[in-house]
Structure 1
């Protein structure tokens, strides 16, 4: 199944009347029965390479977050916040951003196949050969090794900048779902997702408070947890593969001028 993001040949206004994102009645069958591990590998490969296609990176992030969360209401809220329109409600049949770019998400990233099989340890097959059969790309994020040369290079770069008393400026962009961008600097060595949320609430241009609203932060398609530590990457490191972004548990690496999406929801009174 393919992937694409391209300018719609038709007038983008024709896609403005969309339908809610749906999973019900979406089905597909893999060419051969596959396990959960193989499916996750296939999905990871797609999301790692999708931003290299045409289209906007922040829209790919929103699409990934919506397709990977099991909460259908949250998925719809994420797409609404990103102004993504689904003409049929099925991302595999095409969806549009507000500029008219068209995106397609393969069904295997949206729902499980009907022939998903349990893991079978008795089946002796070469894992690397299986990975090549599914897709010839790098292994998924969760299998990234921290002793690789690229990971070591990034870690050394981050540690060097974290200990630097001179350059402590690491600007990022918080893109609120209220259509407003906030420009903030990451605090080296002490910034967490939770503390960043507090700073967003305190920002004079945010116009939200913890009493009236909730925040969900999303970066590169991942919903960030409050206990995650934020590490800073320089411009060179931020161009590396997405697998490095979440290489450490409970840690997210954000490049300079990186865009973190903030889904704002009003609390019920």
Structure 2
């Protein structure tokens, strides 16, 4: 199930809690509109790697978790059977071992986000 070092729960039996990614900076200042466009492009293309129905369904659940507040995101991840390797959701696995890598820009806003003109 997943890779070594990833699991649904910690050794003491508690579920690995997800968190927001640490603050990050985009290579150049970016507007909210540009950030939304990057996110849309990522979510539109990411599920097509492999194309199996199970992978597409998991990508859809990961997209929903990325947009949700932390408690709802935790519920989505837990119900989808996603194995969280990085608590900020940047690296996860499904129950079949397929890897899902999410860039920080789909999970949070950069510190250098600027207003649209």
Where on the TM-score scale, by shorter chain, does this alignment land: which range? 0.7 to 0.9
**TM-score, with length taken from structure 2:** 0.83
2: CA distance, partners of 1:110 / 1:43:
9
Aligned residue number for residue 88 of structure 1: 86
Q: 1:103 to 1:119 in 2, by over 3 A?
A: same
- Structure number with larger C-alpha Rg: 1
Say which structure, 1 or 2, has more relative contact order (CA 8 Å, 6+ apart).
2
Aligned residue number for residue 48 of structure 2: 52
Q: Which of 55, 60, 71 is matched with 1:73 structurally?
A: 71
Structure 1: runs of 5+ lacking an equivalent: 1-10, 121-269
Bigger helix share: 2
Structure 2: runs of 5+ lacking an equivalent: 10-15
Bigger strand share: 1
CA offsets per residue over residues 213-234 of structure 1, 9 Å max, x none? xxxxxxxxxxxxxxxxxxxxxx
Instruction: State the shift of 1:87 in Å.
Output: 2.0
Q: Which of 96, 99, 109 is matched with 1:99 structurally?
A: 96
Give the 3-state SS of the residue equivalent to 1:91 in structure 2.
Answer: coil
1: CA distance, partners of 2:3 / 2:35:
35
Instruction: State the shift of 1:74 in Å.
Output: 0.6
Instruction: State the shift of 1:17 in Å.
Output: 4.2
CA RMSD of aligned residues (A): 1.7
**What is the aligned residue count?**
107
Aligned counterparts, 1:1-269, within 5 A: 12=2, 14=4, 15-18=6-9, 19-23=16-20, 26-54=22-50, 56-69=55-68, 71-92=69-90, 94-120=91-117
**TM-score, with length taken from structure 1:** 0.38
